Amino acid sequence: MKKDKILVIGACGQIGVELTLALRKMYGDANVIASDLREEHDLLKGTGPYVSLDVMNKEMLHVLVIRHNITQIYLLAAILSATGEKNPLLAWHINMASLLNVLDIAKEEGIDKVYWPSSIAVFGPNSPKEDTPQHTIIEPTTIYGISKFAGERWCEYYSHRYGVDVRSLRYPGLISYKSAPGGGTTDYAIEIFHEALEEKKYTCFLSEGTYLPMMYMPDAIRATIELMEADKDKVKIRSSYNLGGMSFSPKEIAAEIKKHIPEFTISYEPDYRQQIADGWPQSMDDNLARQDWGWKPEFNLENMTVDMLKNLKK
């Protein structure tokens, strides 16, 4: 039997750090190679192998895959929504070329499994806002959403045409305390905790009634690993699965934090990110993920808030 050898690309980002640590627990430290453009993240130091990699350099990636007998690739490197709007052509270039490099090497080398995340950003103003279905109008208006939607089509294409076992989730906004967020429109839901603890006040860049789908990082990591561990024939959607956790507005999360920090106050100064958020769903219908491979979230606004505050106070 072939031994699993995993390459995580973009391992020093908000998801990458926690996913790498979780995979190392499951597969053994030496069998999970972390890679990124950046310097090794402090939380990864001493936990397993690390290589410096620019995923845009296909040759280097190819050599790495062959040299280490890689059997699974998790591609997390990307330019996120808010950052992407500042430099659309760069975001398109990086988000597409990174995925195509990985899919093509996976095809050539017969990689067992590839993971690549999509996002709720694939949906646009014409998609239904509440309980947004898996299959519906998809007309993204941000370059990030456009690149994710195109990426989903490429994933399905490589799966159907070449048999590449690529799996994907449309993550909602992810909330975590271990590693910093990377320039997304939902980053406010992390900043608010830091500011509540340090300053007792927060100025939000979205308006008080902006509902967005969100998920606590432990749920996102578990969803990712459960999807990747599912039997191949259970993974019926080869573009990307809708994934739901919780849904709340800045006003609601502020009220939840106030239960624990009574003096906390919030004010609102919406900026360019408001327009991005206005085009996105408010909540997701993730029934197909539940049916096909048994997805069930554990965290809601209440228990996530308790856990975030407890861990940030440490």
Among 32, 64, 77, 91, binds ligand NAD (CB under 6 A): 77
Among 115, 154, 158, 171, binds ligand NAD (CB under 6 A): 171
Between 230 and 269, how does the x/- string for binding to ligand NAD read (CB under 6 A)? ----------------------------------------
Rule CB under 6 A: choose which of 7, 8, 10, 282 binds ligand NAD: 10
| Rounded distance between C-alpha atoms, residue 75 and residue 6, angstroms | 11
State both tokens at 94: 């990086």
For residue 185, give the 3-state DSSP assignment.
Answer: coil
| Cα–Cα separations (whole angstroms), residue 169 to 6, 215, 241 | 19, 12, 5
Which of these segments, 7-15, 156-164, 198-206, 267-275, binds ligand NAD (CB under 6 A)?
A: 7-15
List all residues 6 or more positions away from 307 whose beta carbon is below 8 Å from its beta carbon: 216, 299
Contact flags string 119-148 toward ligand NAD, x per CB under 6 A: x-----------------------------
Tokens, residue 159: 């799966």
CA–CA separation, 148 vs 132, rounded Å?
A: 17
Query: What CA–CA distance (Å, rounded) separates 255 from 302?
Result: 10
The number of residues in the chain equals 314
Among the listed residues 6, 7, 12, 146, the single contact to ligand NAD using CB under 6 A? 12
171 part of the active site: no
Pick the catalytic residue: 74, 115, 144, 241? 144
Count of residues that bind ligand NAD according to CB under 6 A: 28
Q: What angle do CA 107, 169, 152 make, to 5 degrees?
A: 50
* 9 near ligand NAD, judged by CB under 6 A: yes
Is there binding between residue 21 and ligand NAD (CB under 6 A)? no
According to CB under 6 A, which one of 15, 21, 111, 206 is a site residue for ligand NAD?
Answer: 15
Q: Could you tell me the CA-to-CA distances from 67 to 33, 54, 76, 166, 244 in Å, in that order?
A: 12, 16, 21, 22, 38
Phi, psi of 79 (to 5 degrees): -100, 125
Helix ranges (H only) for 174-300 are: 188-198, 217-229, 250-258, 272-278, 287-293
Cβ at position 35, least distance to ligand NAD in Å: 7
Phi and psi (nearest 5°) for 59? -65, -45
Q: Does residue 210 bind ligand NAD (CB under 6 A)?
A: no
Is residue 40 involved in binding ligand NAD (CB under 6 A)?
A: no
Residues 72 and 89 sit within 8 Å (Cβ to Cβ): no
Least distance between ligand NAD and beta carbon 200 (Å): 25
Contact footprint for ligand NAD (CB under 6 A): 9-10, 12-16, 36-38, 53-56, 76-78, 80, 94, 117, 119, 171, 173-174, 181-182, 184, 186
Residues carrying an active site annotation: 144
